[in-house]
A and B are shown apart, each in its own frame.
Chain A
Amino acid sequence: MPTLMSGARMLLECLVREGVECFFGYPGGVTLPLYDAVYDHPIRHVLVRHEENAAFAASGYAMATGRVGVCCATSGPGATNLVTGLVNALMDSTPLVAITGQVHSKLIGSDAFQEADTFGITRSCTKHNYLVTNLGELPQVVHEAFYIASSGRPGPVLVDIPKDVFQGQAHYTPVSAIHLPGYKVFTEGHTGQIRRAAQMICDASRPLIYAGGGIISANATAELREFTELTGAPVVCTLMGLGGLPSDHPNFISMPGMHGSYAANMSLSHCDLLIALGTRFDDRVTGRLNAFAPHAKVIHVDIDPAEVGKNRTPDLPIVGDARRVLVKLNKLLAAMSPADRCRNPAARERWWAQVRAWKQEHPLAPVFSDTEIKPQHLMAEIDRASGGRAIVTSDVGQHQMWAAQLIRFQEPRLWINSGGLGSMGFGLPAAIGAQFARPDKLVFSLVGDGGFQMSIPELATIAGNGLPIKIVVMNNGYLGMVRQWQTLFYNNRLSAVTLDAFPDAEKLAAAYGFRGRTVERPGELRAAIDEAVNEPGPYLLNVKVSPEENVYPMVPAGAALNEMVLTPPQPVPVPK
């Protein structure tokens, strides 16, 4: 028997059926009917302090769990504030459903109060979006939104709902099936292509596995590990793929790319077979594209056909889900004798000797000083406290790169950052989502002093919900990455990058009712991190690090990976 209920109530009903336990949002005029329904509904609503952070928190939730994150905002400014978070989710393939209120359908197009063309604005910011024009289609649309967000290459889907649709009453019948005839999801991978891939792998002398965020999205970490062990190939994991293979795995090299390790970038430059899994040959990974992996044949496995051949034409394309393709590949490889699996063992041994030599030549190792806290020292301390098991959400910039280089991740879904969009202000709200998703986990929110000040209002969300997040501010007094580029490429003319007047961390935290502290001496760092970790509630640790430190290795823009700069350039003596 269908029940009569309001559109708002129907929406919540659909969310429950999609398994949503909590969502992040900020109310407003046209979402009043929705929030009235939320008032006595079992779904938990988390009030953030800015809509952008609702989208970031939902992304943090989604990245920590693999489930669809849900955020909500009102019409007009609420919806426009979501935009950065939507693009961020689109770039990093994060499953997200955004609910926005819209003005009464009779007022659409009349420049009504708090009206914006959300459907038009977010068309290019989402995987798909909807404007619900009548209540009857609401349940169908909501289930479609969840299906699109979570299937294929995941991404954000926005549902714009006018106030009268929330208010309307209708009989609700659960939707049992959705039909999207034009929405193609390629998961299985072509069997013949997979067989050819296995042959190429067996024949390769210098294979390299290049694993991206698709490994995490597809929950393919166990399969990647098996594949790695069957092939015996070294593995580089991209910024989005960290944790795809445990950092302590003997085959793990590190992150490649602009701030990747020497060994990772040299391996890419010298391999003869590149096995790209769930990754998109991003410019920050490839450097100068025509010099990327110049000796390699490329096998590219990706669920998105538009990524295959976009930047690098593969010798063997496989469109499919990373996990399903790896399961099939592993089956083929496991059925072979070890001699068949590796037709050229001597060459493989030489390859590994070379990779190991590169690793030893220029390892990614923390730097310490007696007088100041080096940023790398801070990362080493977080790594020690985490032991590869804590969630680390990061903002964007130098700290993000040092963290990616030096903090280990033994499991997937621990490293949560804004990769493709590089959106500052992500780290703190993402930690909120991650901590709600994983109350059992130690969560570090590692942010720079720039990004932190973009999201300070969320300290209230953290305090109000008693989230035991350990906020670690890597404070160098600069917008460090921009400062680094100005130093290296703009004659050190430091323009608009100095961040002075940073608040007193202890007082700031105290103002929100939790503890905080500033450390600047290297000797104090370990105890301070331990104090933060042992604190039952939230903790704000402001770590003053050497302000002028630059991130190395670095592949300058437009250079090839093997043209990376390994150490700070030495000052050139001025001729007399």
Chain B
Amino acid sequence: MLQVISLLVENKPGALLRVTGVLSARGYNIESLTVARTLDPSLSRMTIVVDVDPNLRQQVVKQMNKLVNVLQASDLTDSPAVRREMVLLRVRAPLEMRTAILKEAEIFGARVVDSSPEGFALEATGPSEKIEEFIDVMRSYGDIDVTRSGAVAVSLEPKKLRLQPPVPTKAEAVRIE
């Protein structure tokens, strides 16, 4: 089973590299990764889906929590959380199939975001499994182009964010010359 990790990180150069480094150093391939700013523009929320040996999941999250730029890393794999993914999909639709495709899209709650004589561009959101089914169905209508966003997740458990207070430096203590 894939591991879902949610991270709150400082929006600083190299932060993404540090987080993914924890995974790449162990040879794990990332299934999906999303990053975007939070309400506080100095922070980003990251959702990573990765295939980690179950025995090492805790270790990976601990290593991420050790990173200076990471405010919080949590494993959402087995905890109450909502996970959603979005797909943008282009399907070629000859005249005789257009109605069928639209019907099918409706079943999956997908929206048409572009329509042209060649076909449609569709947008769908949902759990990854639903997205996969949708892609499979659309594939039966011919050639499709798919761009998936990767999963974003939100924990349903309120988790207290513990931030460290400022520390005085030794700077005031010494006067040189």
- Chain A residues packing against B (C-beta within 8 Å): 13-14, 16-19, 42, 119-120, 123-124, 127-129, 131, 139, 143, 146-148, 174-185, 304-306, 309-310
Q: Shortest Cβ distance from B82 into chain A, in angstroms?
A: 25
Beta-carbon contact of A143 and B14 below 8 Å:
no
Q: Which residues of A contact B103 (CB under 8 A)?
A: none
Dominant secondary structure at the B interface: loop
Which of B21, B66, B171 interacts with A306 by CB under 8 Å?
B66
Known: A124-B25, A182-B163, A304-B66. A147 touches B176 (CB 8 A): no
B156 located at the interface, meaning its Cβ lies under 8 Å from any Cβ of chain A in the complex: no
Are A143 and B68 in contact, CB atoms less than 8 angstroms apart?
no
Residues of A within 8 A of B162 (CB): 184
Query: Which bucket holds chain B's interface residue count?
Result: 35 or more
Give Cα A185–Cα B2 distance, bound, in whole angstroms: 30
B10 and A177: CB pair below 8 A? no
Q: Which residues of the partner chain A approach B65 to less than 8 Å between Cβ atoms?
A: 184, 305-306
A-B contact count (CB 8 A): 93
Task: Take A181-B71, A183-B164 as given contacts and tell me if A306 and B169 are in contact as well, using a CB distance cutoff of 8 Å.
Answer: no
A177 and B25 alpha carbons, distance in the complex (Å): 34
Neighbouring A residues of B17 by C-beta, 8 Å: 120, 123
Interface residues of B in 148-172 (CB under 8 A from A): 162-172
Q: Which 3 A-B pairs have the closest CB atoms?
A: A306-B62, A181-B163, A179-B166
Instruction: Given A13-B176, A309-B58, answer yes or no on A180-B171 (Cβ-Cβ < 8 Å).
Output: no
Looking at B25, B65, B68, B70, the one whose CB has the most chain A CB atoms below 10 A away is B68
The answer to whether B58 and A18 touch across the interface, beta carbons within 8 angstroms, is no
- The complex places the Cα of A152 from the Cα of B169 at a distance, in Å, of 16
State whether A182 touches B67 (Cβ < 8 A): yes
23 A–B contacts, CB within 8 A, in A order:
A17-B170, A17-B173, A17-B174, A19-B174, A42-B176, A123-B14, A123-B17, A128-B67, A131-B13, A131-B14, A147-B167, A148-B68, A175-B171, A177-B168, A178-B166, A178-B167, A178-B169, A181-B10, A181-B163, A182-B69, A183-B68, A306-B63, A310-B59
A81 to chain B, nearest CB (A): 22
Whether, in the assembled complex, B18 has its beta carbon less than 8 Å from a beta carbon of chain A, the answer is: yes
A174 close to B172 (CB less than 8 A): yes
Q: Is the CB of A184 within 8 A of B171?
A: no
- Contact check, A176 vs B62: say whether CB atoms are below 8 A apart: no
Look across to chain A and name the residue whose beta carbon is closest to the beta carbon of B18.
Answer: A123
Neighbouring A residues of B174 by C-beta, 8 Å: 16-17, 19
Chain A nearest CB, measured from B58 CB (Å): 7
Closest to B22 in A: A124
Bound complex: CA A146 to CA B171 (Å)? 11
Q: Quick one: which of B17, B163, B167, B168 has the most chain A CB within 10 A? A: B167
Smallest beta-carbon distance B93→chain A, Å: 45
CA A17 to CA B18, docked complex, whole Å: 29
Other A-B contacts than A174-B172, A306-B63, 16 sampled, CB-CB below 8 A, are A17-B169, A17-B171, A120-B17, A128-B67, A146-B170, A147-B167, A176-B169, A178-B167, A181-B71, A182-B68, A182-B164, A183-B164, A184-B164, A304-B66, A306-B59, A309-B58
Which residues of the other chain, B, contact A131 by a CB distance below 8 angstroms?
13-14
A181 and B164: CB pair below 8 A? yes
Given A124-B21, A181-B71: A143 and B171 within 8 A (CB)? Answer: yes
Tell me which residues from 1 to 42 in chain B have a Cβ below 8 Å from any Cβ of chain A.
Answer: 9-10, 13-14, 17-18, 21, 25
B residues near A127, Cβ cutoff 8 Å: 68
Q: How far is the CA of A177 from the CA of B10 in the complex (A)?
A: 19
Q: Which of B13, B21, B165, B170 has the most CB of A within 10 A?
A: B170
Q: Which residues of chain B are near A19, meaning CB under 8 Å?
A: 170, 174
| Complex interface: chain B residues within 8 A of A177 (CB) | 166-169
| B163 neighbours in A (Cβ, 8 Å) | 181-182
B122, chain A: closest CB distance, angstroms? 39
Chain A residues with CB under 8 A of B173: 17
CB-based nearest B residue for A182: B71
Instruction: State the Cβ distance, A103 to closest chain B Cβ, in Å.
Output: 17
CA–CA, A309 and B163, complex, Å: 24
Q: Is the CB of A128 within 8 A of B176?
A: no
Chain A residues near B62: list those with CB within 8 A: 305-306
For A131, give the chain B residue with the smallest CB separation. B13
Q: How far is the CA of A147 from the CA of B167 in the complex (A)?
A: 9
- In angstroms, Cα B168 to Cα A147, docked, is 10
- Indicate the member of A13, A120, A183 with the most B CB atoms within 10 Å: A183
Closest CB in chain A relative to B124 CB, distance in Å: 35
The docked-state distance in angstroms from the alpha carbon of A14 to that of B171 is 7
Chain A nearest Cβ from B56, distance in angstroms: 9
Set of chain B residues within 8 Å of A143, measured between Cβ atoms:
169-171
A176 and B171: CB pair below 8 A? yes
Contact with A along B63-91 (1 / 0, CB 8 A): 10111111110000000000000000000
